[in-house]
Structure 1
């Protein structure tokens, strides 16, 4: 069995962890991608999990298709987008992709929605705003919230400390906590569902 990296209560696995050189490019065709995804689902020692969250690349390619085909049990998709219209085009495709596969869409989250100044905590709209919310309304999908660009999130990722622990009193941490609370309500308590979010 492959042992995942553990951070707090979270277990994490990435193809990048298995590369001899972290600068190597991964150039794989569909069948090889599907095989590695299957290996991660069956050969990683996940132990007991509340939820399994799979971060897939944007769009409707081999990765999300393999994930949904290989995962057993109930599944939900959380679609994360940015405010620009060009991103909304991918969201529309992802929504139709999930509906064709019969996968429940838990909701849409708009990432990079404004910038939080580290000095004064004021928020400035860098991109057009509202693209995620507009698309959610267009397709009758839940809109779960907007996450601003927050420099401290990058710092937390670099240090390995979850942002919501290190900066629990910030507005962004409260937004993230509210989004997670909504997802738990939608997907159900972990002990009752065994759901997987992709």
Structure 2
């Protein structure tokens, strides 16, 4: 966790995540759909991650993040496989699919992109620039006067620096036998909320070999 210089309340969110939904959504085409000869908008074919079908055929089934044009398109996309995760606001669903299901998704008019949802090991040298933390710090934005959400793989919640400032904790750590993914939450479940949920000195997070 990066050091904070201002005394602001903190919301701690812990967990080893699969491929970020924001990354999948950002990969969606930003330009308008092309027009046909009659001047009507047409739908571009879904962007499917290269070699995804090959991996699905070899593994039997894989996890994928499916981004759709609108939330109204989600039910049709979700019908292609087993639903593992949905989001309350974004037009995205995480599915478990086989090669045949990928073929079906590639024909859905409401689907924008399909990418594999796989475990991503945390690396501070990469994650801080990825979220713009270095630029925020350089601009002098410390979060003073605001509640700051710390997304990490666990935090030393008992550290004196955080004394009296933690207002909430949560842990989200997918459990998926196909990917050998086990929970790092202190209670061993895929989700935990409340005191101790983001404590890096409890549960599997306390074992560096598990991270």
TM-score (norm 1): 0.27
> Which is higher, the Rg of structure 1 or of structure 2?
2
Higher strand share: 2
- Structure with the greater relative contact order (CA < 8 A, sep ≥ 6): 1 or 2? 2
Higher helix share: 1
